[in-house]
Amino acid sequence: MGIDEPKELENELDEEDQWQLYASAEYGSNYDAGSDDEDTEVVEEEIWFDGDDFEMDGGNLDWDAPPCPAPLGIAHVIKLGVCDCCLSRISGSSPDRVAIDAGKELRGKAYDRDPELVSKISQEICPLCENLFDDVENIVSRVIDSLSGFEFSTLQFGIHLPKDLIQEEDRIRSKFGAQGSLPLKGALVRSIHERIAKENMDVVFVKERPDVMVLVDGLTLRVDVDVRPVFLYGRYRKIARGIPQTRWPCRSCRGRENGCESCNGTGLQYPDSVQDLIGEPIRSALGASDTSFHGMGREDIDVRCLGSGRPFVLEIKHPSIRDYKLQDLVELVNENGAERVEVDELSWCNRPKVNEVKSSRSDKSYTIRFRVDSEIDSELVSDSILSLSGTEISQETPKRVSHRRADKVRKRRIVSVDSVAVEGDEVEVTLRCEAGTYVKELVHSDEGRTVPSFSGAIGAECEVIWLDVEDIHY
Ligand SMILES: [Zn+2]
Ligand SMILES: [Zn+2]
């Protein structure tokens, strides 16, 4: 993104060094790439006089001017046409900042020393910054406009400058500027920082994880502002069936903006989703544009998720407000999700938490109720299901998902079968399984693709009636 200044600067210096090395090769007699000890002195001198390609009337310029802060050096850069800001930063008088007043004062003194100097200035455009410092005010007001209405306490700022400008600036500054002068990019960024800080006293300028990122194109003065998302971690319980975890676009219109008849203009296949039941009240409270929902796995639409709930991270995009009382957000969510989705608590987190949640593998406990398709002996059914406690099962990719996943056989452990209750031809089982177990298939065997299975152990067809995730052991 061009905001990693030190690195970029290093590259440019490298190129400059290489260029000088190459240039000096032509001057050194008997130049030999393998021996660099003889010509050192000559080379250094040659760099001074390596000829210039300034496209200007060179009549008044001293090509052998000493660097600033020598008065002749200052007179020389004034002749080159540097602006007061650049004069201040390369003159050696204020090497770590840009001070237009200091520049004006230096210019005044130089004019006092040489009243002719003003008539010897070769061009009006500053060769060091192409008058970019005149645009600082303009850039800052665009930045402030773009950020109005957004709350932020940290800001990362980057400016992209044309490469040839940076190279030319570096060349002149290294030759005629005082040692240790601030390079153009750093100087511009610093004066923009100072100017923004004047408007917003509390902002902290950072190099990573900013609340807002501002990128300026030095050529077009285009300002791009990126308000970074905020993240909330929590666990949800889904206490009603028929709710997908994330928004499902309508199958008929594929979720186009104004929807269609079959989705009542919503663009959604299901009116509710865990994502929106939780995310919408938060999005609206924080004045954000949208949300992304990152769950630790997901349950099927018809499956409830109980116990302490399923861990998730909600990403809230372009928020106007970045801080909000968490307990109030919890209440807003529980009001909005009443009898469908609920959370106990929420906490702020950062993007890495998304990966942590998505990559985590936890055991899950389920309660599952199914019907057995034949006469059953309840004691026999109980015993055969309990006998699967602690065993490993092999599951071929279920038929219902094989259209989107490669066929393979997984081994998963049934950690424990905790209870079995038989009522007529219906059986209710609570069990704990390793992460990634296809639990519906464990019941009906998926036509023998899961072995062993309840159906196999009982010796009869089994049909799932309902299923709850009882807990996620995270
Ligand atoms: Zn300048
Ligand atoms: Zn539709």
If you measure from the C-alpha of residue 298 to the centroid of ligand 2, how many angstroms do you get, rounded to a whole number? 24
Ligand closest to 169 (CA) is 1
For 132-227, give the CATH class: alpha beta
pLDDT at 61: 54
Element (H, E) at 9: helix 5-27
Contacts of residues 204-210 at CB distance under 8 Å and 24 or more positions apart, as own/partner, are 204/153, 204/154, 204/155, 205/154, 205/155, 205/156, 205/157, 206/154, 206/155, 206/156, 207/156, 208/156, 209/154, 209/350, 210/152, 210/154, 210/155, 210/156
Residue 4 in this model has a pLDDT that exceeds 50 = no
Give percent of the chain with pLDDT exceeding 90: 58
pLDDT tens per residue across span 237-255: 999 999 999 999 899 999 8
pLDDT at 456: 94
For 230-359, give the CATH class: alpha beta
pLDDT at 323: 94
If you measure from the C-alpha of residue 129 to the centroid of ligand 1, how many angstroms do you get, rounded to a whole number? 4
Ligand closest to 85 (CA) is 1
The SS3 call for residue 26 is helix
Of the listed ranges 54-63, 324-333, 339-348, the one predicted with least confidence: 54-63
Cβ atoms 408, 447 nearer than 8 A:
no
Residue list, CB under 5 A from ion ligand 1: 83, 86, 126, 128-129
Domain-wise residue ranges, the chain: 9-120, 132-227, 230-359, 364-472
Report the relative pairing of strands 204-205 and 154-160 from DSSP bridges.
parallel
Report the predicted TM-score, pTM, of the whole model to 2 decimal places. 0.77
Residue 75 in this model has a pLDDT that exceeds 80 = yes
If you measure from the C-alpha of residue 258 to the centroid of ligand 2, how many angstroms do you get, rounded to a whole number? 8
Closest among 175, 177, 181 to 44, alpha carbons compared: 175
Ligand closest to 250 (CA) is 2
Residue 31 in this model has a pLDDT that exceeds 50 = no
If you measure from the C-alpha of residue 132 to the centroid of ligand 1, how many angstroms do you get, rounded to a whole number? 7
pLDDT at 14: 39
If you measure from the C-alpha of residue 82 to the centroid of ligand 1, how many angstroms do you get, rounded to a whole number? 5
Section 442-459 average pLDDT: 94
d(CA 62, CA 83): 19
User: How many residues would you count in the chain?
Assistant: 474
Average per-residue pLDDT in the chain? 84
pLDDT at 245: 96
Query: Of 426 and 104, which is predicted with more confidence?
Result: 426
CA distances from 170 to 10, 14, 177 (A): 11, 11, 9
Residue 337 in this model has a pLDDT that exceeds 60 = yes
Active site annotation includes 145: no
Residue 62 in this model has a pLDDT that exceeds 60 = no
Cβ atoms 385, 404 nearer than 8 A:
no
Residue 417 in this model has a pLDDT that exceeds 70 = yes
- Fold match between domain 230-359 and domain 364-472: yes
Ligand closest to 257 (CA) is 2
Query: Of 95 and 270, which is predicted with more confidence?
Result: 270
pLDDT band at 91 (very low <50, low <70, confident <90, very high): confident
d(CA 69, CA 178): 6
If you measure from the C-alpha of residue 272 to the centroid of ligand 2, how many angstroms do you get, rounded to a whole number? 14
pLDDT band at 115 (very low <50, low <70, confident <90, very high): confident
pLDDT at 95: 63
Ligand closest to 135 (CA) is 1
If you measure from the C-alpha of residue 269 to the centroid of ligand 2, how many angstroms do you get, rounded to a whole number? 7
d(CA 97, CA 295): 48
Closest among 292, 267, 266, 276 to 243, alpha carbons compared: 276
If you measure from the C-alpha of residue 270 to the centroid of ligand 2, how many angstroms do you get, rounded to a whole number? 10
Position of tokens 């009240």? Answer: 281
Q: Among 14, 290, 300, 377, which one carries the catalytic annotation?
A: 300
CATH architecture of the domain formed by 364-472: 2-Layer Sandwich (3.30)
